[in-house]
Amino acid sequence: MKILALETATEYCSVAVLQDGELVERFEHRPREQTARVLPMVDELLANAGLSLTQLDALAFGQGPGAFTGVRIAASVVQGLAFSASLPVVGVSTLASVALAAADSAGEGDWLVALDARMQQVYSAVYRVAADDQLTCLSADGLYDPGEVGVPEGVMAAGDGQHYEALSGRLPADRWIAGVAPRAGTVARLARHKWLSGETMAARDAQPVYLRDKVIQGAVR
C-alpha cells in the first residue's frame, strides 16, 4: 500500500508517504506559506521514496475543519494530483488527525479536540482512539462557542491552546495537551483504514469541510 497525504488546515504544512507500513513525513510551521511549500514537499518526499504519482494507490488529505484557505489548499492540490494520475482520494477529518497525534503523545483513550476557529469559536469533536490507529467518533466535528463544548467525564483533551481558559472549569490542566496540530502522518495512517474498507472518492468529490457558512458566503461574494 502506498499513500501520499497532505495536511494544511492550520499554520503547519505537512506531507507524508505511507509505503508498505513505513511512514515518512515532512512537517513545517509555515503560516501563510502552505501554497508555496506543499508541492515542493510532495516532490521531495516522492523522490526520496523512489515513487512516482502513478505508483501510488491513493491520495489523502486533511479535509477540515480548519482555516478556510488552508483546507482549500490541501483539497485543490489533491484534486489536481488525483486528476493527473487517475488516483482515488481519501478525506480525513482534521480533528481526527489531532486526536491520533495526541494519542501518540499521551496514550489511547477518549480525546476531546478543540482548535481555534476564529470569531471566538472552536472546532471540536470527541474521538476514541484504540490500538492500530482505530478511531471511533463519539461526538461529531462541530463549530462551538468554547463554553458550549461538552466535556465528557474522564476525557483527555488536545488542541492549539487558545481556548483552554474557557474549558478549564470542566477540564483539569493535567488532562489538556496544548500545541497538538494535525499532521499528514496521522492523516495517512487514518486514510489507510478508509482505503482498505473502500471509503475512497473521485477527485472531483475531494471537497473541504468548513462548518462555517458565513465564511464561505463571504468568500463567494
Rg, the chain, Cα only: 17
Sign of the alpha-carbon dihedral angle for 9, 197, 22, 84: negative
Shared-domain flag, residues 123 and 20: no
Structural domain harbouring 170: 94-178
- Number of C-beta neighbours around residue 201 at 10 A: 16
Kindly state the average pLDDT of the residues 160-181.
Answer: 86
164 and 206 belong to one structural domain: no
Say whether pLDDT at 23 is over 70.
yes
8 Å CB contact between 94 and 63: yes
Do residue 54 and residue 160 come from a single domain? no
- Rounded to an integer, the average pLDDT of 133-148 is 95
- pLDDT single digits (tens) 29-43: 999 999 999 999 999
Taking every pair of Cα atoms in the chain, the longest distance, rounded to a whole number of angstroms, is 51
- When divided into structural domains, the chain yields a total of 2
Query: Nearest to residue 62, comparing CAs of 86, 36, 27?
Result: 27
Q: Is 156 helix (H, G, I), strand (E, B) or coil?
A: strand
CB 179 within 8 A of CB 101: no
Asked whether residue 216 carries a pLDDT value surpassing 50, the answer given is no
Supply the pLDDT for residue 220.
Answer: 33
Q: Do 135 and 173 sit in the same domain of this protein?
A: yes
In the predicted model, what is the mean pLDDT of residues 22-32?
96
Q: Are both 30 and 73 inside the same structural domain?
A: yes
The enclosing H or E element of 181 equals none
Q: Do both 65 and 137 map to the same domain? A: no
Pairing of strands 12-19, 122-130: unpaired
Q: Which residue has the cell 458566503?
A: 217
| Tens-place pLDDT, residues 102-118 | 999 999 999 999 999 99
17: CATH: 3.30.420.40
Whole-Å CA distances, 220 to 74, 78, 127: 19, 22, 32
Cα separations in angstroms, 127 against 99, 151, 197 = 7, 12, 19
Residues 110, 174 within the same domain: yes
Same domain as 124, residue 105: yes
Contact between 63 and 91 under an 8 Å Cβ cutoff? The reply is yes
Q: Do residues 120 and 189 both lie within one domain?
A: no
Specify the pLDDT at position 215: 46
